[in-house]
Amino acid sequence: MGFPAIDALWLSPWVLGLLGLCIGSFLNVVIHRLPRMMERQWWHDGVAQLGDAESWQRTAGQALPPAAAPLATQMARTLEALPPYSLARPASACPACGHRIRWYENLPLLSWLALRGRCSACGTGIPVRYPLVELLTAVLFALAAWRFGPVPVSLAWCAVLATLVALTAIDLDTMLLPDSLTLPLLWAGLLAALAGWTLPLPTAVVGAVVGYLSLWSVYWLFKLVTGKEGMGHGDFKLLAALGAWLGWQAILPIVLMSSVIGATVGIALKLSGRLGSGRPMPFGPFLAGGGIAIILLGTQRVLGWIGQ
């Protein structure tokens, strides 16, 4: 039995906005650490492959060079000796001086303002992106509460929005869309549909398939014509995840919005000299932005705007 008054309070835009501030603080950790965690794992995998004599024999048709096995052993020992690194360990610290950040220096938004954007120990500037991510997440959570109302499913949409914020920042930093974020987002969308929270399950499944295949087809067509890769596979998975949450009808407006805005930003960056010739530009942030717009505005409204 529900308690509407309690739900209206705890799932109100103000409360979910405060929750968004806290989640945004955690997203800053994810954005900074997850790519480094992935990189460390790649080195573990690469070193293991470097010492695999049988795999090299099958691949190259010759014996593994004598220096490879000792080098792999040395590198493996170095990797094993590294301190633990995860989303929880080590504790947050200033990258310039190593000052361990105290709890009251890590309050979302407030601490950055109180410290005037600088480390309390050495005075090194703290990037403005940290409070911006927190503030953006807070605003998106409040808008989700306003859009969907004081119902538990609003929390699911908040989780989607938080994941899209993290993916956007990671892609801007590293040109990566981690599978550890895109694939759970995809499966969560299908499970939400199965539970009856969002869409009919067939619509969500078709949305995921159409989302993936639309960019997959463009990728291969571009590669066949030019011999180059025009986008990463993470873009396919991200659009598939958005299709699972929003349905196949949302794919066209998401792709249109992301393409037009991406092209506009790319041209502006080239004209300003901030995007060099041949330098790729991540597409994930524009897909995520299109997805956020559809979530908050509604698919039917946006389709009406484009005459569909």
Q: What is the pLDDT of residues 61-97, one digit of tens each?
A: 999 998 998 999 999 999 999 999 999 999 999 988 9
What 3-state DSSP class applies to 100? strand
Tell me how far apart the alpha carbons of residues 222 and 230 are, in angstroms, rounded to a whole number. 6
- Domain end point (choices 101, 123, 150): 150
pLDDT of residue 1: 42
Same domain, 182 and 255: yes
- Domain end point (choices 124, 150, 176): 150
- Domain end point (choices 150, 185, 217): 150
Q: Count how many residues are written for the chain.
A: 308
**pLDDT at 169 > cutoff 70:** yes
Mean pLDDT of 166-179: 96
| Range(s) of the domain holding residue 146 | 1-150
Q: In the predicted model, what is the mean pLDDT of the chain?
A: 91
Q: In percent, how much of the chain has pLDDT > 90?
A: 76
Give me the number of domains the chain comprises: 2
Same domain, 134 and 162: no
Q: What angle do CA 159, 161, 166 make, to 5 degrees?
A: 95
Q: What is the pLDDT of residues 207-230, one digit of tens each?
A: 999 999 999 999 999 889 988 887
Tell me how far apart the alpha carbons of residues 22 and 25 are, in angstroms, rounded to a whole number. 5
Which is more confidently placed, 92 or 306? 92
| Residue bearing tokens 């920042």 | 169
pTM for the full predicted model = 0.93
Same domain, 22 and 145: yes
Q: What is the pLDDT of residues 184-202, one digit of tens each?
A: 999 999 999 999 999 999 9
Contacts of 98 (CB under 8 A, 6+ apart): none
Same domain, 9 and 143: yes
